[in-house]
Amino acid sequence: MLKTGMIIAERYEILSKIGTGGMADVYKAKDHKLNRFVAVKVLKAEFREDTTFIRKFRSEAQAAAGLTHPNVVNVFDVGDDEGVYYIVMELIEGITLKEYITKKGKLSVKEATSIAIQVSMGLEAAHSHGIVHRDVKPQNIIISTDGKVKVTDFGIARAASSNTISSNVMGSVHYSSPEQVRGGYSDEKSDIYSLGITLYEMVTGRVPFDGDTTVAIAIKHLQEEMVPPSIYAEDLPYSLEQIILKCTQKSVGRRYDRMEEVIADLKHSLIDPQGDFVKIDTVDNEAKTVVISDEELGEIKHTPKQSSRAGQKKMEVADLEEETYDTDYDDDDDGYEERRASIRKSRKKAEKSRSIGRAVTIIALIAGAALLVALIFYIGKASGLIGGSAEPETKQEEQQTEKKEEDNLVEVPNLIGLTEDEAGELTLNSQLGIQIIGEKASDQEKGRICEQDIPAGTMVEAFTTLKYYVSKGVQQVTVPDTDGKTGVEAQQLLEDAGFTVNVQKEYSELDENGYCLVDPGYVYYTTPEGGTTAKAGDTITLVVSRGVNYYGEDVQVPDVIGWQKNDAVTVLGKWIDIQIVEQRSTDYEEGDVISQSPEAYSYANPDETMTLTVSCGDKDPSAATSETTTTVPDTTQQNTASQTQTAVTGADGTWKCTQRLDTPAGYQGGAVRLELVQNVNGQPTATLILENQVLTFPYQLDITGASGVSDGTLYLSEQVDGEYQELGHYSITFAKVE
């Protein structure tokens, strides 16, 4: 960190620190040579030893320095001074677009369109210089005090990619394009997608894809269709909604080709808000693959190449240019006639080529028509429509069976209601494998299969493993009475009884004296009520009291350092979200609170997150998982993870990744979460690798992946202020362990 008064490169005097990011700190400085104020971005110390990263950082910054535009934060200088690597930029007084959206909730249509046009113009200028931003998001868009909109941090995301194992982007996953989260190539169209997400947030006040983890959000970018923005903004014009939808198409080919097209449609939407002028290309899902025989392929290979119409046009234009721009003004008539003769000769040659091309085209059309007639006759003959009878049904069934075997596809049978032995015999004859996931209560008889992961009738590859649950039968359980118990005690009691618990928090009603009926942290009520009967496995809603409602006012934070975790959670009952982070400690007993954020006796909003760091004694905290007193785990995501873990040792053996993970850009030494996404049987599948663990970098990975899957994407997030923030994601490879 630089100190006030320091001078860099004998020119830039550091005045104050004005911001910080994952890779660099930003300072306000004075350029004494040009007598102006500037912003100086200084690379953090942890990146200064990586020569590859430094070289990439410098080259990208120099490229950005060549970009000058009113809607871009201009780069003035790039260099280093005794190991301090810096970028000098235009100093903009204002706020980020993210802060502006947060402040206003959502923007008016006119204001959002105006901002989007200015951002698009800045990006268009960058693209014309061969610069792709790769990290377009509201945090990188600044609105100056005079209303100008400027895009910043060009080229930084690309520079950062050299610091990690195949890291792809630095941007927030909320705004990343499908090709970026997949780890593929990103270009100008990735910026267009991110701009569309940003525009969506401007008009609705929310991002289209959100989730508890970065992996969950990434999968939504790949799989889910966004909710149309008009659902959240009823007055949104039709044309602007269509622009957003075209920008955010998952298929790159269906988005706008260039920023100029985006700008033109945005301007058009201001004039004709309800116009239907935005055209989104459709995808031909019915297109069939045409198989060319070896004989036909040979004919194509030996057919003389013909000039295309475009090529003929170029020849004609070249001839005209040669004639029009001839600068030989020799008065010699013979020379002039020779040039004219040469031109006439070239034209005759071109016309001859065109004639040959037309003749070949006519021949090809005739041959194609003959082939089509023969094909129709053959199909009609095969189906019994022309001069013959239809084939027997048994023969058609045999042909269909042969076709399925050729495609190596097998139909999934219905396992529901079968015993495990019956399912084993059935799938053995069907060239399929089976694997039990677990047991659950259901209407099926105890011991029979009650659920399967792939629906019956689905066509899958041969030797696919089907996963299933076995029924525990219908079990009726009495809901325990939780009156007078703390929320922690009640949750444990309900879970021990075999229920799934959905913990919620509500402010308590007041009695006639103005005191709350139920103290904070204690059970307010359950649904269903205690004493009633429910099925084992049913979800019980446990509502915990938050005490008195102070209507959004900050409250004083209790001191819970040294308390046991469960007692501390009860005392902090007013906080709606309590995150638990475990840490090894010899000074505190296992389960005691080591630290808290916000600090004790400070004033904080109980609607925000409270983070407690709890001692796990001398145990390795990597085995611990984070807890929350208000959030119910996503059972769908948990099932996906467990299925992946179950399948890692399958017919294809065990597959592992042992690559080295370098220090991620922006890592501050906090607790880390690693999540793996792999494409298993055509579906993105997420697995939690570790959570709430402080890693020492470089870190040696030892990850077991899905059986037979050779690659995946690893997402790395760090816990900052109680929430996980993505630092990067990495393309990793797996190899079979012999």
CA gap 250, 126 in Å, rounded: 23
> For 105, left (φ over 0), alpha (ψ -120 to 50), or beta?
left
b/e per residue 555-589 (b: at least 16 CB within 10 A): eebbebbebebbbbbbbbbbbbbbbbbbbebeebe
DSSP E strands in 359-443: the ranges are: 409-411, 433-440
Pairing of strands 577-583, 609-615: parallel
Nearest partner of 144 among 69, 89, 91, 87, judged by Cα = 91
C-alpha atoms less than 13 angstroms from C-alpha of 75 in its C-beta half-sphere = 23
Report yes or no: 677 and 713 within 8 Å, Cβ to Cβ.
Answer: yes
Q: For tokens 């020119």, name the residue.
A: 11
DSSP letter at 516 equals B
Pairing of strands 24-31, 12-20: antiparallel
b/e per residue 207-222 (b: at least 16 CB within 10 A): bbbeeebbbbbbbbbe
DSSP E strands in 472-600: the ranges are: 476-478, 500-506, 523-527, 533-535, 539-545, 555-556, 577-583, 593-597
Nearest 10 degrees: Cα torsion 54, 60, 62, 65? -140
Q: Among this protein's residues, is 135 annotated catalytic?
A: yes
Q: How far is CA 40 from the centre of its chain?
A: 31
Nearest partner of 241 among 411, 112, 414, 377, judged by Cα = 112
In sequence order, which residues have a C-beta less than 8 Å from that of residue 111 and are 6 or more positions away? 202
CA gap 120, 255 in Å, rounded: 14
Helical segments of 93-167, H only:
97-104, 109-128, 156-160
Report residue 556: phi and psi, to 5°: -75, 135
Report yes or no: 346 and 314 within 8 Å, Cβ to Cβ.
Answer: no
**Ordered DSSP codes for 567-586:** HHHHHTTT-SEEEEEEE--S
CA distances from 363 to 312, 357, 358, 360, 627 (A): 20, 10, 9, 5, 75
- Rounded to a whole number of angstroms, the distance between the first and last alpha carbons of the chain is 49
CA gap 65, 90 in Å, rounded: 11
Pairing of strands 433-440, 465-471: parallel
Identify the sign of the CA torsion 644, 649, 650, 654: positive
Q: Of residues 135, 153, 191, 265, which has the active-site annotation?
A: 135
Packing angle between helix 188-204 and helix 97-104, nearest 10 degrees?
A: 20
The SS3 call for residue 260 is helix
Nearest 10 degrees: Cα torsion 559, 560, 561, 566? 180
Report yes or no: 544 and 504 within 8 Å, Cβ to Cβ.
Answer: yes
Pairing of strands 465-471, 449-452: antiparallel
C-alpha atoms less than 13 angstroms from C-alpha of 605 in its C-beta half-sphere = 5
CA gap 672, 655 in Å, rounded: 24
**Ordered DSSP codes for 289-308:** PPPPPHHHHHHHHTSPP---
Catalytic center residues: 135
